[in-house]
Chains A and B, each alone.
Chain A
Amino acid sequence: MLKSDRIFGVVVVLGAFAYIASALQTPTSFMSDPVGPKTFPVLLGAVAGLCGLIMVLKPDEEPDWPDFGAVIALAISVVVLIGYAYALKPLGFLIPTAITAGILSYQITPRPLASALTGLGLSVGLFLLFKYVLGLGLVPFPKGWFG
């Protein structure tokens, strides 16, 4: 029986090996202490690997994974958030925030009008709050729109 914990455990063991291998590549300097920069990460990798092994041998109950529709909704949300992370600087606060908040809201409760209003409301409301109440330096619009 292929359980999530077993698969995850294997990934952990492989990851631990990669981590140890990478730690062993750490450059050492002439100013060295008895432990050095490699020991601690190697120790961690070893413990993590052991934990991964235990997960493979003694897996827990299967977690309650989301169904296909929920996975799609999650994937859309992640993509939108990544886009938001890149858009925030060049496009200013208001437009990316309205779009992102609207899409997230739609993913939680699929009502188009309510989501659009949520997006707009959050975007404007948070901008006013951050800019004028908390005094954060946010740029509202893309550069060059209003001089």
Chain B
Amino acid sequence: MEILSNLALGFSIALSPYTLMLAVLGCFIGTIVGALPGLGPSNGVAILIPITFTMGLDATAALVLLTAVYYGAMYGGRISSILLNIPGDEPALMTTLDGYPMAKNGRPGQALVISGFASFWGALFATVMLALVAPALSRVAYQFGPAEYFALYLLAFSTLGGIASNNQAKAAFASCVGLGISVIGLDNFSGLPRMTGGNLHLMDGVDFLVAIVGLFAVSEVFFFIEKHGKGGAVGVKLNKFRVPWGEIWSTRWTQLRCGVVGFIAGVLPGAGASLGSFLTYMMEKNIAGPEGKFGTGVPKGVAAPEAGNNSAAGGALVPMLTLGVPGSGTTAVLLAVLMTLNITPGPTLFTDRPEVVWGLIASLLIANFVLLAMNVPLVRIFVKVLSVPPALLLPGVTMVSFVGIYSLTGGYFDLLLMILFGIMGYVFRKMDIPTVPVILGILLGSNMEDALRRAMVLSDGEWTYLFSSPIAIGLWIFAVAGFIAPVYFRNKIRKPQAVTD
């Protein structure tokens, strides 16, 4: 059993006191980040990245810390959904539908506990599946040449644009913006500068961390300034309660189904946790029918989206680790972490750096139990966090972003660039232009162009080479279908708005 020896390796790393401490710390920060409205997994992880680097953590440690934050944020998002009717992050949007009514019916504690267990199950299932599926997929990925990789990148952009946004043209435009920015700097093939406008600061290209922090964190601050911190709903107070074991048991099939569906939604490139929670909630609502009373505060309605989004969060790690193509906004941010640490995700990661992959998987398994403990018995601590006023929180976020980027690059130019990206993120989000494809474009742009040019070198400029293998043709078909199909069923299925997880 190869997987057992791999897991043993993983646990030997994950159980070292230092790594364990980082995982617990990550869970704690993550749950807070998730619970705070206005700070989601992607901007939470984004502002922590520069700090992690300046602390000098090694690859495994940094990855364990940041993925624990990612998992924690997925758990924490439900807290403000249930108590305030404000989703703590995008994937928790569906949890408000039954979670808040349940809280208003005087059962906020039960809603938190049921959703906590559902989160635990979803995340645990996804992590186990990650350990099983990822090595197999990474072997398939060995078959990929430049033509296949080019088609795969295209698939990521087209499904991200097609499924997770409202307007195909705007999503494609956002991808072009990101890819266009990635072109800036020295050309990989000829070594000559491109699109720098003669600016020396731009010779190295635009650092994707600057773009990520600007687009995700700084633009969020602008949103709060526009709203003057208004929009805070009346919160429900958490009273004393018993753990509703019976109700948790009654949702077992719901949790199981939603774990599976959520995982599949997560693995699809571009879909991510928001789609996972949306799909699972709608599925359970249809299975339960009108007698199910979804929307009035039923346990299944709380369990379904939470099992779904946590499972999808784990599933989204699969394409990120095996192919280097992230399945969601936050995994795009995590990919940025890997790239900055000089780790190339993809099939070789599993053979060259097994300690990173299996250390991560083992840490996530441990993190799950830590998160269950934090989110069920200790949930009161995190409920307190909700009373932090935006007027303190968002300036804090800004300052942390600035210091992070400043300590990374040490100059004013990247800070100005970050502000620019913040303004861009604000305008884009106002106009319903998704910002995740921009990040993905900046991250993957040079790989995508390299794949294209290498393919053309191999074929001596023959364009049909791009469609020369069955895998490539399959990916092209999925890419086109994933981009066009949502136009037709968009009228029938209403998606969760503003998917940015």
CB atoms of A101 and B192 under 8 A apart: no
Q: Interface size (A, Cβ < 8 Å)? A: 73
In the bound assembly, the distance between CA atoms of A146 and B416 in angstroms comes to 29
Q: Interface size (B, Cβ < 8 Å)? A: 64
In the bound assembly, the distance between CA atoms of A111 and B430 in angstroms comes to 27
User: Shortest CB–CB separation between residue A86 and chain B, in angstroms?
Assistant: 5
Interface of A is mostly: helix
CB atoms of B176 and A51 under 8 A apart: yes
Closest residue on chain B to residue A101 by CB atoms: B395
In the bound assembly, the distance between CA atoms of A134 and B281 in angstroms comes to 41
CB atoms of A35 and B173 under 8 A apart: no
CB neighbors of B among A69-98 (8 A): 70, 73-74, 77-78, 81-82, 84-86, 88-89, 93, 97
Q: Does B131 contact A (CB under 8 A)?
A: no
Residue of B55, B195, B227, B396 near A134 (CB, 8 A) is: B55
Closest residue on chain A to residue B50 by CB atoms: A136
User: Shortest CB–CB separation between residue B402 and chain A, in angstroms?
Assistant: 7
Closest residue on chain A to residue B441 by CB atoms: A44
Known contacts A12-B173, A47-B172, A104-B221, A66 near B453 by CB under 8 Å: no
Chain B residues, CB < 8 A from A63: 430-432
Contact with A along B451-486 (1 / 0, CB 8 A): 011001100110000000000000000000000000
Closest residue on chain A to residue B54 by CB atoms: A136
CB atoms of A89 and B412 under 8 A apart: yes
CB atoms of A58 and B391 under 8 A apart: no
In the bound assembly, the distance between CA atoms of A4 and B170 in angstroms comes to 13
Q: Does B415 contact A (CB under 8 A)?
A: yes
The 10 closest A-B pairs by CB, nearest first: A34-B461, A85-B415, A51-B173, A109-B391, A48-B176, A54-B169, A101-B395, A104-B395, A29-B190, A51-B169
- Residue positions of A touching B, CB distance < 8 A: 4-5, 8, 12, 19, 22-23, 26-29, 31-35, 37, 40-41, 44-45, 47-48, 50-52, 54-55, 58, 60, 63-66, 70, 73-74, 77-78, 81-82, 84-86, 88-89, 93, 97, 100-102, 104-111, 114-115, 118-119, 121-123, 126, 130, 134-138
